[in-house]
A and B are shown apart, each in its own frame.
Chain A
Amino acid sequence: MKKVIKIVSFTLITTIILALSYQTLSWKDTSGEYVSTIAQLKNTPNNTIDVAFVGSSHVYCGLAPHTLWNNTGIASFDLAISGMDRYSAYYYTKYLLRSQKPKVVAVDLYSLTFDGHMVLGNEYRNMMSIPISKDSIDLAKEYSTSTKEDSEANKAINNYTLRWPIVHTRYKELKKGDFIEAPENSFLRGENLVNNITPIDLSEARTYTDIGDLTKEQIKWIDDFVKLSEKNDFKLVFMVTPYAVQYHEMLVYNAVEEYVSGIQNVEFVSGITATDTKFDFKHDFADYSHLNYSGAVKFTKWFYEKELKNMGLKNHKGDAKYDEWNQDATYQACLNVNANIEKFIEVSADPEAVESIMSSGHLIFTLAFRENWGKYPIVSNTLKKMGYKDEDFKNGGVIVLQGNNVLLVHDGIGEKEKTFNYDRYTSLKVSGNGVFIDAVKIGTKEFLSGGENVSLMLWDINVKKPILEKDYH
């Protein structure tokens, strides 16, 4: 009996250590930098999502749940992974249906235009982000047998089923995000909106009216989704997000539109052919494949008008169960501020600009300056806002603020050392030599190094990292 206990205990301890190792090594990223739509879904209370958008980066860049929330109180979610393939779209939807009862599921049709992944990272994202279950095994089987040679398919199925043969090689690339979950995963609603601007032209794409032939596999995929919608009682919308579409892709979209036109409770919408989206084609696209922030807001509003307005979906604002949507909306507003911050800083002679930044409660404002800071208005504007005179800091200084709260001030006088912790892992250390600021360090990195007269850092408390670091020579 004693020996049996020993064997069981050893097995248990080894298993626990291996499970912890797996947790560290596992693939955690669905859209970049450890931000994961699946982690966000896991952090969502059961049966709260009313509308689910399923698809690739076209979805997480193009549909903005916070817009729906702000305007209507509808709880929506982007179940979106970079380059999501059609097999993943189906099984990830099944996974979502385990914990949620959406009234509407909008599936992006982009995945129907390609087979295997061009980028291995995207294949990993799609095959390994879904938690291990029968669905994940079915996904690995269907994807691998459909997109790979026979000799490779079995190996891929084993690897994607077990995962360890792939993820153990990540030991060389482990980062903080592998040990501590990205803060965004606790509240984001799947979107990953960007602010780049690329003018595009969809006029030619709108002339592509030819209808292609759907393959058996494509028809089966559509039919499977239709069956899933009937079984789980949700309205199914096949959707095309706007982008610089290719002719062969439009053949597929047009064919799907024709195929589903006769199916009850299944809709088809296209942001490419629609003319009432109010897009500004010079400013609403991030690149040739994705909408940017303003484009996503417009496309989401358009989708609401087209598909959701008359669904009688409930306004959940004020319901504590939907706190993630509130946090997400606040975060997105902060992101909007962050996106414009560089512009504010460039024109920082304007005291209002400084005040605008300083009043953003999600930012910790850190300014360090030497004795010859005189020509940099950002310093005097900051000092003025705080009620100091320029002479008080004639030898230079360091100021840390959050909103109207002063977190640290060092005027360089006295030999004192001061520290401030941005979070558990990042701290600021200021040392004075009795006459002026001697050294300023953030972590081990020198802040306000020898070549600089003024250094500015804005720390975002949402994402727990700097969103702007600027030196003024």
Chain B
Amino acid sequence: MAFNSLHFLIFFPIVILVYYIMPKKLRTFWLLAASYYFYMAWNPKYIVLILISTLATYLSGLLLEKNESIKARKGIVAGCFVINLSLLFFFKYFDFLLSNINFLLEKMHISVVANPFDVLLPVGISFYTFQALSYTVDVYRKEIKAEKNFLRYALFVSFFPQLVAGPIERSKNLLSQIENLDDKKLFDYDKVVSGFSMMVYGMFLKVVLADHISIFVDNVWDNTHAVGSTVAILAAIAFSLQIYCDFGAYSIIAIGAARMLGIGLMENFNTPYFATSISDFWRRWHVSLSTWFRDYLYIPLGGSRCSKVKKYRNIMITFLVSGLWHGANWTYVIWGAIHGMYQIIGDLLKPIKEKLCKITNVNKEVGSFGLLKIIGTFALTTFAWIFFRADSLKAALLFIKNMITKPDPWVHFTKDYLNFGVDASDFNLIIIGIVVLVIVDLLRYKKNLDIGAFLLKQNLWFRWAVLIVLIVSTLVYGAYGTSFDSSQFIYFQF
């Protein structure tokens, strides 16, 4: 069930209403039932996978608590990883592996080993397996105690607001809140208002902004052969915004929905395009995933407290795995590699940059310097997104070639970019949406307030006006219905 579906518009109010009127003791059961229904509305069969992952990690927790032998504990963790990663590997990467083996065999004139299975990728499998695995590791590290109540644990793995696209929650945060569901306040008006505001804003970002931008981006990518530099650059920037609005929207809706239920989820995006360096970008972008990789991969590999070579190796491994996590395609691997390289090169060039600034007498304290760094970081991430968006490496390279070799400044005057699925009114709509996005992000950046918390602090009339404008704009200007093929949230595929 997608957040931007009629199904969810009916489902969620029912969940909320029943949740607040039913006896507190039944809340865990109710949310679990709602979460399973939420997932099964997409494909009932694949609920088995969540159950396997839940059972494996739940049992691993219990076993870890009973075993003190390091060898046995390591074995339990390894077994749990094998089960979860096998699921992930089979459903997400097996066909990718087969097609690569076949490609190599064909090059060597050897017949193919097997045809790809063409299995449907279970929605959110990368998210819930990682969330469940983090629990096992945390119990192994004795950072938390194992959860004895299976229903509570099952809800932790499958909590519907963040089940299919994150944030990838930590047991320390989410599980402890689930344990206290029975004690939670009956109805917290402020949390409901704040959560509702976030959901409304998230829907606006997704349906009005991301889905309209995607029409332009998709049209450009479908016609790469006919695209010159200006349109290619515009499309690259547009995709940067699209993926932020799309994935950011999902997280905002998820956090808002959970907040309405009285549960706080971790922040997943913190104004990523205001980042002043690539490492800063990764502290702000998909925070739940980047901290997961930091805590469960980068640091165990040795992190940065080792030699420079090892540190760079650790960075590259982390980003390559992160790229692969996003999708079974070489384009994602390259995207991860580019980000790894950005970090390494940035680190290597740091002394040179410092010297250059000193020689040229650059004042690093002025706002324009910060703005330049923000623009530079945005340009670097936008370039990397090209590989993320491309269907193949060949397509990405053609796109980049067009960006560089087909200068067409007249497009600014002939407005040929309006030939790619969005007309002037859509374009204006996108511009207005981006202005709204920038205002909200500035609020977050300067005052450290999310839209829900910000609106809660405002006068009633202002809050209502903003919410009503967002609701009506979303319903009227949203890219959904018969004229649009309402696109899925981009991150559903991961």
Partner-B contacts on A (CB < 8 A): 3, 6, 10, 13-14, 17-18, 21, 25, 158-159, 162, 164-166, 168-169, 171-172
If A13-B468, A158-B6 touch, whether A18 touches B482 (CB-CB below 8 Å) is no
Q: Which of A13, A164, A165, A171 has the most CB of B within 10 A?
A: A165
* CB–CB B476/A21 < 8 A: yes
What residues of A have a CB within 8 angstroms of the CB of B189 in the complex?
3
Known contacts A3-B189, A17-B468, A162-B6, A171 near B477 by CB under 8 Å:
yes
Contact of B480 among A17, A21, A165, A172 (CB under 8 A): A165
Closest to B471 in A: A14
> Could you tell me the distance between the alpha carbons of A168 and B472 in the complex, rounded to whole angstroms?
10
Docked-complex contact B460 and A168, CB < 8 angstroms = no
Q: A21-B476, A162-B6, A169-B484 are in contact. List 9 more A-B contacts (CB 8 A).
A: A14-B472, A17-B468, A17-B472, A18-B471, A165-B482, A168-B481, A169-B481, A172-B423, A172-B425
Question: Residues of B contacting A18 with CB < 8 Å?
Answer: 471-472, 475
The residues in B between 442 and 489 inclusive whose CB is less than 8 angstroms from any CB of A are: 460, 464, 467-468, 471-472, 475-478, 480-484
| Closest A residue by C-beta to B481 | A165
- Please report the C-alpha to C-alpha distance between residue A6 and residue B456 in the assembled complex, in whole angstroms: 13
CB <8 Å contact, A21 and B472: yes
A159 touches B481 (CB 8 A): yes
B483 surroundings in chain A (CB, below 8 A)? 169
Binding site for A on B (CB under 8 A): 6, 189, 423, 425, 460, 464, 467-468, 471-472, 475-478, 480-484
Q: Please give, as numbers and ranges, the residues of chain B lying within 8 Å of A21 by CB-CB distance.
A: 472, 475-476
Cβ-closest chain A residue relative to B474: A168
Are the C-beta atoms of A159 and B482 separated by less than 8 Å?
yes
Contacts of A17 in B (CB 8 A): 468, 472
Tell me, in angstroms, the Cα distance from A164 to B478 when the chains sit together.
11
- Compute how far the CA of A162 lies from the CA of B478 in the bound complex, rounded to whole angstroms: 16
Interface of A is mostly: helix
A171 touching B476, Cβ below 8 Å: yes
Closest 7 CB pairs of A and B: A165-B481, A169-B483, A3-B189, A166-B482, A168-B476, A171-B476, A172-B425
A165 and B477 alpha carbons, distance in the complex (Å): 11
B385 to chain A, nearest CB (A): 29
B residues less than 8 Å from A172 (CB atoms): 423, 425
Complex Cα–Cα for A14 and B473 (A): 12
Q: A3-B189, A6-B460, A21-B476 are in contact. Are A169 and B468 (CB under 8 A)?
A: no
Chain B residues with Cβ below 8 Å from A164 are 475, 481
Complex alpha-carbon distance, A165 and B5, angstroms: 11
For B484, the chain A residues whose CB sits under 8 A away are 169
From A14, A158, A166, A168, contact of B478 by CB (8 A)? A168
Nearest-CB residue, chain B, relative to A172: B425
Q: Does A166 contact B481, Cβ atoms closer than 8 Å?
A: yes
16 A–B contacts from the bound complex (CB under 8 Å): A3-B189, A10-B464, A14-B468, A17-B468, A18-B471, A21-B476, A25-B476, A158-B6, A165-B480, A168-B475, A168-B476, A168-B478, A169-B481, A169-B483, A169-B484, A171-B476
Question: Chain A residue with minimal CB distance to B486?
Answer: A165
CA A165 to CA B484, docked complex, whole Å: 10
**Closest CB in chain A relative to B316 CB, distance in Å:** 46
Query: For B460, what are the chain A residues with a Cβ–Cβ distance below 8 Å?
Result: 6
Min distance, Cβ A278 to any Cβ of chain B, angstroms: 46
Q: Which residues of A contact B425 (CB under 8 A)?
A: 172
Chain A residues closer than 8 Å to B467, beta-carbon distance? 10, 14
Complex CA–CA separation, A164 to B474 (angstroms): 12
Report the separation of the CA atoms of residues A13 and B472 in the bound assembly, to the nearest whole angstrom: 11
